[in-house]
């Protein structure tokens, strides 16, 4: 029996509104806004095509160590955190309390999307 923290589950940003409150998740998103007043980053990732999910990430716990590029509009960032709110009405929104946020750096976003879709397909055939 492990006594350490539970691992995060890698998922696409568009899957977050379907997650349960307090699920620990890891995802990638593009910064669309940052509010210094609320210490929240708004992230988006228009994948799969036709989705328009936005996620509000509270970074209040990270303000002393958060890299400035992680709040820059257009920057892709990785997030590990806990789901704290989901829109049950269906507008495609979620809220996450961040434990870690860091810039993704150069990456092939299409490869990332394909890898996560493959991972999800494999998980569904295994269960």
Give yes or no for a contact between 87 and 77, defined as CB atoms under 8 angstroms apart: no
The answer to whether residue 3 sits within a structural domain is no
- pTM given for the model: 0.90
d(CA 85, CA 70): 22
Give the pLDDT band (50/70/90) at residue 50: confident
d(CA 70, CA 51): 23
* Element spanning 122, H or E: helix 109-126
Residue 119 in any domain: the answer is yes
Q: What is the DSSP string of 60-119?
A: GGGTTT--GGGGSTT-EEEEEEEEEEE-SSSS-EEEEEEEEEEE--S--HHHHHHHHHHH
- Over range 48-76, report the average pLDDT: 95
- Tell me, yes or no, whether 106 lies in a domain: yes
**Pick from 101, 88, 110: nearest CA to 8:** 101
Full domain range(s) for residue 62: 9-126
Closest CA to 30 of 94, 97, 75: 75
CATH code for the domain of 45: 2.40.50.140
Q: Answer with the residue of higher pLDDT: 117 or 59.
A: 59
Task: Give the number of domains in the chain.
Answer: 1
Position 92 pLDDT exceeds 90: no
Mean pLDDT over residues 30-36, rounded? 97
Whether 1 is in a domain gets the answer no
2 within domain boundaries: no
In a domain, 112, yes or no: yes
d(CA 68, CA 17): 27
């Amino acid at each position: 029996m492990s006594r350490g923290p539970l691992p995060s589950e890698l998922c696409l940003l568009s899957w977050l509104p379907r997650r349960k409150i307090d699920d620990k998740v890891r995802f990638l998103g593009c910064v669309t806004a940052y509010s210094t007043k609320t210490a929240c980053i708004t992230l988006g990732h228009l994948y799969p095509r036709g989705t328009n999910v936005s996620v509000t990430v509270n970074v209040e716990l990270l303000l002393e160590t958060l890299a400035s590029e992680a709040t820059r509009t257009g920057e892709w960032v990785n997030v590990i955190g806990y789901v704290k709110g989901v829109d049950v009405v269906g507008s495609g929104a979620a809220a996450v309390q961040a434990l870690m946020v860091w810039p993704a750096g150069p990456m092939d976003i299409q490869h990332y999307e394909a890898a996560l879709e493959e991972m999800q397909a494999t998980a569904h055939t295994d269960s």
